[in-house]
């Protein structure tokens, strides 16, 4: 049995709390490892090490920091396959998807290599006679990231690349369900020349999270996970005076207008609905069929379902792997049951699957779903695609805008005017036009609206740099002793 420890002061550190959690290979259902769960005292020790390290790292020149990022980027690009295999073994997603996750994380590292440019302030010469004003951005010291199981490498990279480049020490509390990717990243940072203590991993559960939330030396917390926990993290962290961004769950809709290219829409619904077994925060979980495209669309999606090959994600020709745990698989299966009971038409039932050894569930398609059904109201986070039929574009937009979540949304149409109107009308943070999973590239920022994000800044990109730094404005005069005089009036520039 593999034992997964913490990463403190540039080396693995075995836990001493006496508490561990099991880690499974979801494709076989077997426990493959156990991970240490940090106590409050262990978190405090890790933060103390990070606090010391932050002082030196902050003083490192921008080009020195950038050089470490470049080296880290090279190593990550070279060894993508190694990390992808680790992700697949603990998360279950197929290897190509795991490699895709790493590639999207890599983009964030590439963005952060430009830190000398990203940290530039502005300068106003002669704001008053002989007075210059300029702005600078400075790191906080120690910041923390708390991440979900579904992107065990990409989401930590969303956060740590910008946080570290900006001059902070970063403490990561990864998901206890698939923690090995975080340890692998820690080793890579060390190899890239990052000083000890600048990147830390404390494994754990609620106890470790709560310890970070109240620790006085953690200045900012970046969180990604489910909505109830995101709300808790935001409320608790901000009440402690910390800066917090907390990204929550989602219910992403894909609107298909009657003029859409049918095959492209069906392909997109399949890819975005069942990729990673639906365990993506940007997965499409609701197809909104507008008008008379509904029948042919449902038929086209249903016809593609038998072609999805389900199995162990480590096998090359597999399209869809298992869910993260037996409990989660059973919960998702419960939603299918409830959908059927509440009147949805079960076009394809994933519970009929033959793979029984791991945490598998097949691709499920529910038609005639209505907004009161639990399959519509709740984030299912599994391979279940619901089709809601509406008569008009206006009804489709109202449906999306009345939904509790506002993460991603997509429209499929050939009408540029309709797409533009949609982008104007819709209440969601990330919009796709004939693109089902509109995850922004790394030089924009990622974030939803409504119950999908608590806080006011999005993740990575320009917002990430802003989130992990504080602004300072300097007003400066180098006086000519000959012009010095006492003046008790309020300083003016005119
Ligand atoms: P989760 O909320 O259960 O866990 C996320 C993190 O919070 C983990 O590190 C976990 O250890 C910790 N945690 C769990 N319960 C806690 C508690 N009671 N107190 C303190 N900490 C706690 O989420 P998950 O199941 O790992 O991930 C799936 C969820 O994440 C989905 O809802 C998905 O939509 C969401 N997600 C959102 C985004 C986004 O960008 N908005 C991205 C990825 C995942």
Predicted confidence band at 466 (pLDDT cuts at 50, 70, 90)? Answer: very high
Note whether 430 and 130 are within 8 A (CB). Answer: no
**Which pLDDT value is given to residue 352?**
85
Q: Residue 25's closest CA among 464, 397, 324?
A: 324
pTM of the model: 0.97
Q: Taking Cα atoms as reference points, which of 203, 219, 272, 253 lies closest to residue 7?
A: 203
Over range 7-31, report the average pLDDT. 98
> Pairing mode, if any, of strands 449-450 and 123-128?
unpaired
3-class secondary structure, 101: helix
Mean pLDDT of 15-24: 98
pLDDT at 483: 78
- Asked whether 328 lines ligand 1 (CB < 6 A), one says no
Residue recorded with tokens 């219910």: 251
Testing ligand 1's pocket by substitution, the residue of 104, 105, 148, 177 carrying the most ligand atoms inside 8 A of its CB is 148
In 273-324 the beta strands, taken as DSSP E runs, fall at 284-290
Q: Is 173 in the pocket of ligand 1 (CB under 6 A)?
A: yes
The residue whose two tokens read 């400075």 is 138
Measured distance between the N- and C-terminal CA atoms of the chain, rounded to whole angstroms? 73
Ligand 1 in reach of 327 Cβ (< 6 A) = no
Element (H, E) at 34: strand 30-36
DSSP 446: B
160 is catalytic: no
Closest atom of ligand 1 relative to the 247 alpha carbon: 41
DSSP secondary structure letters along 383-417: SEEEEEEESSHHHHHHHHHHSSEESEEEEE-S-HH
Average pLDDT of every residue of the chain: 97
Percent of the chain whose pLDDT exceeds 70: 99
Query: Taking Cα atoms as reference points, which of 398, 405, 452 lies closest to residue 425?
Result: 398
- Over residues 406-433, the mean pLDDT reads 98
The model's confidence at residue 95, banded by pLDDT at 50, 70 and 90, is very high
Q: How large is the average pLDDT for residues 141-149?
A: 99
Q: Is 229 in the pocket of ligand 1 (CB under 6 A)?
A: yes
pLDDT in tens, 192-242: 999 999 999 999 999 999 999 999 999 999 999 999 999 999 999 999 999
**Other Cβ atoms closer than 10 A to 241:** 8
Catalytic residue (one of 84, 98, 213, 281): 281
**Ligand 1 and 285: CB distance under 6 A:** no
Residue 132 has pLDDT above 80, yes or no: yes
Residue 252's pLDDT is 98
Query: Span 289-304, mean pLDDT?
Result: 98
Residue 284 has pLDDT above 90, yes or no: yes
Q: Is 175 in the pocket of ligand 1 (CB under 6 A)?
A: yes
Question: Which of 150, 204, 225, 448 is the pocket-test mutation for ligand 1 (most atoms within 8 Å of CB)?
Answer: 225
Structure ipTM: 0.98
For residues 364 and 385, is the Cβ–Cβ distance under 8 A? yes
H-helix or E-strand spanning residue 115? helix 115-118
């Amino acid at each position: 049995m593999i034992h997964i420890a913490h990463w403190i002061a540039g080396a693995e550190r075995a836990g001493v709390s006496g508490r561990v959690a099991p880690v499974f290979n979801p494709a076989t259902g077997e426990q493959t490892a156990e991970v240490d769960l940090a106590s409050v005292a262990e978190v405090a020790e890790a933060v103390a090490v990070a606090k010391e390290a932050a002082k030196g790292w902050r003083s490192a020149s921008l080009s020195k920091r950038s050089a470490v990022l470049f080296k880290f980027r090279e190593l990550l690009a070279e060894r993508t396959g190694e990390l992808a295999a680790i992700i697949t073994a603990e998360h279950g997603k197929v290897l190509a998807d795991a490699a895709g996750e790493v590639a999207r994380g890599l983009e964030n590292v590439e963005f952060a290599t430009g830190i000398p440019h990203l940290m530039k302030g502005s300068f106003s010469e002669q704001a008053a006679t002989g007075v210059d004003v300029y702005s600078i951005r400075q790191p906080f010291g120690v910041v923390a990231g708390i991440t979900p199981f579904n992107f065990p490498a990409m989401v930590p990279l969303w956060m740590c690349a910008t946080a570290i480049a900006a001059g902070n020490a970063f403490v990561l509390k990864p998901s206890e369900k698939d923690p090995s990717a975080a340890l692998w990243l820690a080793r890579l940072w060390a190899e890239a020349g990052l000083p000890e203590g600048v990147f830390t991993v404390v494994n754990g559960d609620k106890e470790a999270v709560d310890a970070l939330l109240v620790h006085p030396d953690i200045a900012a917390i970046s969180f990604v996970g489910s909505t109830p926990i995101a709300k808790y993290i935001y409320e608790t962290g901000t009440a402690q005076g910390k800066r917090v961004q907390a990204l929550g769950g989602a219910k992403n809709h894909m609107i298909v207008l009657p003029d859409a290219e049918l095959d492209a829409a069906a392909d997109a619904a399949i890819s975005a609905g069942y990729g990673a077994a639906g365990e993506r925060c940007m997965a499409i979980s609701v197809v909104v069929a507008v008008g008379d495209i509904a029948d042919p669309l449902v038929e086209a999606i249903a016809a593609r379902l038998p072609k999805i090959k389900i199995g162990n994600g480590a096998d090359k020709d597999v399209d869809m792997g298992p869910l993260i745990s037996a409990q989660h698989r059973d919960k998702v299966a419960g939603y299918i049951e409830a959908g059927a009971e509440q009147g949805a038409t079960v076009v394809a039932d994933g519970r009929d699957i033959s793979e029984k050894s791991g945490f598998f569930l097949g691709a499920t398609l529910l038609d005639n779903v209505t907004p009161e059904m639990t399959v519509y109201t709740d984030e299912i986070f599994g391979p279940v695609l619901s089709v809601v039929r509406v008569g008009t574009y206006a009804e489709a937009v109202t449906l999306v805008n009345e939904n509790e979540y506002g993460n991603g949304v997509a429209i499929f149409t050939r009408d540029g005017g309709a797409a533009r109107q949609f982008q104007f009308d819709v209440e969601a943070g990330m919009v796709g036009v004939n693109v089902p999973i509109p995850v922004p590239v790394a030089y924009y920022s990622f974030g939803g609206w409504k119950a999908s994000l608590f806080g006011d800044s999005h993740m990575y990109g320009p917002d990430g740099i802003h989130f992990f730094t504080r602004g300072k404005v300097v007003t400066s005069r180098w006086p000519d002793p000959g012009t010095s005089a006492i003046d008790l009036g309020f300083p003016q520039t005119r």
